[in-house]
Structure 1
Amino acid sequence: MNIKAIPHPSQFVDAKLTAAIRSLAAEAEKTGSLHPEQLAIIYKQKWFNLFVPEKYNGLQLTLPEALNIEESLAWVDGSVGWTVTLCSGANWFIGFLQPNLAKIIFNKDKVCLAGSGRPSGTARIIEGGYEITGFWKYATGSAHATAFTANCFIEDKGTIIRDKDGSAVIKSFLFLREEVILHNDWDCMGMLATSSNSFEVQRLRIPENRCFVIDAAFTFIDEPLYQYPFLQFAEATLAVNICGMAIHFMDVCQPLFNGRSENRNYIDTSRSCLNNAREELKHKRESFYLVIKNSWNECAKNNVVPAELLPGVSKQSKELAATSRRLVDELYPYCGLIAANNHSEINRVWRDLHTASQHSLLI
């Protein structure tokens, strides 16, 4: 890929699919979850399985390829892009699941994992497995998830287990959909169709093979994709969502600004602001995709990303998200009251972007 000519997100999603997804966005917001027809498209395109091996019915894309699609889907619709990103990210955990469990979970066409990274549960060691109690917020895709993942502190004989440095040991677990209690409590100004609800389990007993560790040293699938560090993987996938929504916002600004009939200075200023925003975001995307390309090439070649490259990935991811948000906010005052209308497309994009950008990894 020519880093100096990053294509517009529209180049990675069929125009007919874009139109179909967007035509259902308002209805999806009302129901609080993705529309069945949107989900049908996602499953047909295998977007939840961007990072899943082909033998498990996945696309098995490289990280740069997947980021292009995630950015594009966020450009199409914020809720769709965010849900695909978070759920495909959870499906990426297949690389860390024991093979016998992976075969059970991924033995169907429609597989979607949802979950939470916050360690707000406790797993008590029992004979043959664990007894788990916990409550986790913001499980994007919960309405249609087939399984859930969650992080827990580990307890043995009434004591929280700690590492040599004194920090509490945290491990990840997988629950079946019928094992969790769902709470329909997602209530934010944006990302309304992501069904990012809470879930809980109470004294749930599960076998030992439901526990997994998200670390390159604990993979069960020998592929570079599962050697890429999770923190930078997560930062990058979230950042492209904010960027994709920002590009959508700018695209919607164009006809608004062109249709202005106010004084000439106002029109010229708004159009100049838009042109400058597009140019700045273009350069920031180029910088971001360059560090992603370099880090991925190292991972694909040597099965490891050199430690000195990781800070650059984190830095560029956060800067891409911050720049996207800032540029949108600079354009917003020129958009008129249509941008404050809860039922307008540009307002939905603004609400989605400012909800998603609250994620702590982007700070």
Structure 2
Amino acid sequence: MHPSHHLKPEWVKTIRKTAPLAEQAGMLHPDQLKLIYEQGWFKFLVPEVYSGLQLALPDMVRLEESLAWANGSLGWVVTLCSGAGWFGGFLSPKIAPALFANPHLCLAGSGASTGTATIVDGGYIINGHWKYASGVHHATHLTANCIIKNGDETVLDKQGNPLILPFIFDRKDVILLSAWKFMGMMGTGSDAYEVHNLFVEKDRCFKIDPEYTVIDAPLYKYPFLQLAEATLAANISGLAVHFTDLCVPIFAEKTSGKKLSAAQKAIMSQSLSSLTHELNTSRAEFYQAVDASWQGCLVGNATSLDLVSGTSRKLAKAARECVDQLYPYCGLQAANPDTEMNQVWRDLHTASQHSLLTFN
């Protein structure tokens, strides 16, 4: 099914009309944010008890692909920030209700363990610097992974490795730093942040583990790795579908003109048809795996997890190859940074650099 099926045309119009302005500003446009807040897209995975949508995983993944199809930066920010909302299933009930009640809730953060949390009476002292926090300029709170310290000693887990736990901070306690200087995803504002000698209480620390969930629902027992893989793959897929959509009128114009030979026209038409088919085949396999894993989760044990991981990587690869093989036929407008096609190309080749889907 085409990603446009899940979005109202007026939503897409608003998102795409303001996309160039978001790129210029280095963060989502106010009209885009207004739509996100109205539709509750930052609360895709927030528990219902905290006024969240608590969407079923297959529904959420399809919506995220659709939003990435509408615009790469918006889709990415919604995916990463709503993904952090999933932590609501593990946060202390003492702080979660007030935190998630904010109508402009947005949780940004980083999965890198580039901070330390030193144990003190009643909590921890946090120090650290984290890069690439998508949506950080709109964040009400930020999350970060920290290596746990007891004095000068690093605390070890049961396997003898440094113990790493996530924390949640208030936006007012975090320093933002300009750091996102890449060719694509320019509207995500994925800048860096840091904290210095910040005291946080114990309930600001949580564990992402089904054994520690505080919300008894299948969504919060689904493995985090496959959730992350699937949502990132869906974004890359949405960008590739957007690119193929933009190819259709360009290819139609070129193949109806007189500049190309009959053989060249046939190559272009066949390439668009076959590559679009291959992309959609990978999409279908991916969603079949996601749906199957979710059905297993609903009855107590997520299944097909290896398939989710495998088809996520296969889809990301198919998306990159589809776009790269069609790109040379699109002419100089594909290389013009002021065009929508170039924006999609830049966004896809930036988003697909995420290390989670790099290796088979």
Q: Do the two structures share a fold, i.e. TM-score over 0.5?
A: yes
Deviation of the 1:272 alpha carbon: 1.1
- Asked if 1:334 is matched to 2:332, the reply is no
CA distance in 2, matches of 1:178, 1:233: 29
CA distance in 2, matches of 1:157, 1:24: 49
Contact 1:245 1:349 in 2 (8 A): yes
Contact 2:65 2:235 in 1 (8 A): yes
CA distance in 2, matches of 1:217, 1:266: 59
CA distance in 2, matches of 1:143, 1:164: 37
Which of 40, 44, 60 lines up with 1:46 in the alignment? 40
Deviation of the 1:125 alpha carbon: 0.2
- Asked if 1:131 is matched to 2:125, the reply is yes
CA distance in 1, matches of 2:182, 2:265: 33
TM-score by length of 1: 0.96
> For residues 196-234 of structure 1, what are the alpha-carbon distances to aligned partners after superposition, in whole Å with 9 as ceiling and x for unaligned?
000000110010000011111111100100000000000
Aligned to 1:228: 222
* Percent identity over paired residues: 50
Matches within 5 A, 1:188-227: 188-227=182-221
Point out where structure 2 has 5 or more consecutive residues left out of the alignment: none
CA distance in 2, matches of 1:182, 1:358: 23
Which of 39, 43, 54 lines up with 1:60 in the alignment? 54
Deviation of the 1:268 alpha carbon: 2.1
Once superposed, what is the RMSD of the aligned Cα atoms? Answer: 0.9
Aligned to 2:310: 315
Aligned to 1:347: 342
Point out where structure 1 has 5 or more consecutive residues left out of the alignment: 1-6
Matches within 5 A, 1:1-363: 7-260=1-254, 261=257, 262-263=259-260, 264-302=262-300, 304-306=301-303, 309-363=304-358
CA distance in 2, matches of 1:209, 1:55: 19
Deviation of the 1:265 alpha carbon: 2.5
Aligned to 1:4: none
CA distance in 1, matches of 2:270, 2:325: 12
Letter in 1 for 2:220: Y
TM-score by length of 2: 0.97
3-state SS of paired residue (1:108): coil
3-state SS of paired residue (1:118): strand
CA distance in 2, matches of 1:301, 1:180: 41
Letter in 1 for 2:345: W
Contact 1:161 1:169 in 2 (8 A): yes
Letter in 2 for 1:186: W
Contact 2:124 2:199 in 1 (8 A): yes
CA distance in 2, matches of 1:164, 1:67: 34
Contact 1:95 1:226 in 2 (8 A): yes
